[in-house]
Amino acid sequence: MFPAVATLLVASACSSNSSALSGQNDAPVAARDGGSIVIGAEQEPDCADWLGTCAGSIWGSYTMQVGTIPAAFDTRKVDGKWVPQASDLLTGDPAVQTVDGKQTITYRINPKAVWSDGTPISSADFAYTALQVRDGKDIFEKSGYSDIANVATPDPKTAVVTMQTPYASWRDLFSGDYGVLPAHILDGKDRDALMKDGYTWSGGPWIIQNWQRGTSVTLVPNDKYWGPKPHLDKVTFQFITDTAAAFQALKSGQVDALYPSPQLDALSQIKAGVANTKSQVDPVTGNLEAIWLNNTKFPFDSQTVRQALAYSIDRDAIVKRLFGTIGVDKAAQSFFTPIVGGFGESAFGKYTLDLGKVTALMTGDGWAKDSAGFWAKGGKRASFAVETLAGNKRRDLTLQILQSQFTQAGFEMTIHDTTSATLFGTTAPNGDFQAGLYTLIDTFPEPLNLASTFASAAIPSQANGYSGTNFGRVNIPGLDAVLDQIDADVDPAPRIAASKQADQMLADAVPAIPLDDVPNVLLWSARLGGPISINPSEGPFWNLSEWGLAQ
């Protein structure tokens, strides 16, 4: 499907996948049938209407969506790389054609596929889902679906989706954030009301037995599932929002697995060790932390300054300081996160700490150091503030290290704590910032975020109601055309070539500086068996049906 997917991805995984944690590379322990387990969940989903604006919680996807909502494409590891792969909901890869500028995608549905009430999964379900997203009001994300012209249902097992314009990331449709919903249950009804507190139907291996708000979600096997049945009789996700308490719960046997965010307190707990526990640290992730520069604000309105800035820091040292205890020590070298790494190059790899190059670039651009040792030009010092969300200790530490390194290189950096509302609601859309430290998140192995982050059309402006997310006002000559090709070219080879070109252009222009791919960490009790591992797109519980109690 993706013949040229990412050599970078492999390089990234191997280069920093070593870990001091126990059991990471152990062979899977065979799982037996029966029994139940409890998994600690650090967040409770806000709701289970996956299409609605109340959704968007990654833990909603982990705990309920992945196990109950059938998807056209799964993210699976093929030849060591995570790629979209037609799921067993379909009979095979959909047929894709582009005629007269319109793309049609023909999905053929597995005759065995049924909902938990025995009703066959049909083309009507595809049509219902597509039109709900395209035309619905309370919808979280319409990207891709808003370009659907129509959905034909020539027979119950064939759905033909026609796009108004070619959509290269078409595999994200009926996959990724949404999947396929049952028309016979939801059509003509209030979808949000029927789904938001959990639903009693399923098209996956699990069915939601109970969602006790604030406490837990319990899944039990879906007897009508057409694929392999789960080993376990019951899985309960218990919401434990306090990191320290969650680790104590794992130590005391109250929970059997944890998937903690790699914040400093969690990392120190992991470093201290958890007895009778196995773990996996996976740097192949969709979360990229970067320093985002406002390309229209002094001093970052100069490409030379931005390049000099990139040469001013030892990004590997920062990553080692942050994640070295769990064996991750390589900086991110692209705006294609590792799960879409096949589309990019290690273009930022050329930027390593080199104060000589900083001096050459800055002096060549007319800068000179002032009495305090900072670069200045025309009476203005190369001084900037970095916006960061208050309360995130890992980012605080990152900024403290950056501040020290920038100072040595002659840049004066200050830290400005802010709130999410202020940063993403006002400051960033209005462009009232110089730099910010925040995360770009990919949840599907397609380059869905690149255009919304770097295309000039996505620069927030009065014309678009300040709704774009190109907060850095990036406007690199020639880049828009390349990004358009990435979004529209359904032919994988030229699309990947365009992606790599975009990666190089971004590295040359340095509109922002990638720092680290935030690693994923999974810990589980030694009493568990099965092929337990992290899926960077679908989460750690993507193959929960294969988990069980150890034989």
Binding site for other proteins (CB under 8 A): 38, 40, 44, 46-47, 49, 52-54, 56-57, 137-143, 146, 192, 196-197, 213-216, 218, 234, 236, 238-242, 244-245, 248-249, 251-255, 275, 419-422, 424-425, 441, 448-449, 452, 458, 464-465, 467-469
**Beta-strand pair 36-41/412-418:** unpaired
The three-class DSSP label of residue 103 is strand
Output phi, psi for 218, to 5 deg: -120, 130
Alpha helices in 94-231, H assignment, sequence order: 123-135, 183-186, 191-195
Find the shortest distance in angstroms from Cβ 251 to other proteins: 5
In sign, the C-alpha dihedral spanning 108, 112, 115, 118 is positive
**Residue 109, both tokens:** 């549905």
Is the CB of residue 523 less than 8 Å from the CB of residue 248?
no
Closest to other proteins by CB, 90 or 455: 455
The DSSP bridge pattern shows strands 158-163 and 148-155 to be antiparallel
The residue among 24 and 236 lying less far from other proteins, judged by its C-beta, is 236
- Strands (E) in 164-286, as ranges, are 206-212, 216-221, 234-239, 257-258, 277-282
CB 421, min distance to other proteins, A: 3
Between residues 140 and 298, which has the closer beta carbon with respect to other proteins? 140
Q: Which is nearer to other proteins, 18 or 248 (CB)?
A: 248
In sequence order, what are the beta bridge partners of 513? 291
**Pick 90 or 544: Cβ nearer other proteins:** 544
Q: What distance in Å separates the CA atoms of residue 258 and residue 261, rounded to the nearest whole number?
A: 10
Three-class SS of residue 392?
Answer: coil
Please state the closest distance from residue 62 (CB atom) to other proteins, in A.
16
How far is CA 433 from its chain centroid?
25
Instruction: State the nearest-atom distance from the C-beta of 54 to other proteins, in Å.
Output: 4
CA 281 to chain centre: 16
> Residue 140 CB, nearest distance to other proteins (Å)?
7
CB of 34 to other proteins, least distance (A): 16
Closer CB to other proteins, 53 or 104, in the complex = 53
Nearest approach, Cβ of residue 196 and other proteins (Å): 5
Q: How many CB atoms lie within 10 A of CB 56?
A: 15
Closest residue by Cα to residue 375 from 474, 304, 291, 293 = 304
Please report how close the Cβ of residue 17 comes to other proteins at its closest, in angstroms.
28
Question: Cβ closer to other proteins: 80 or 425?
Answer: 425
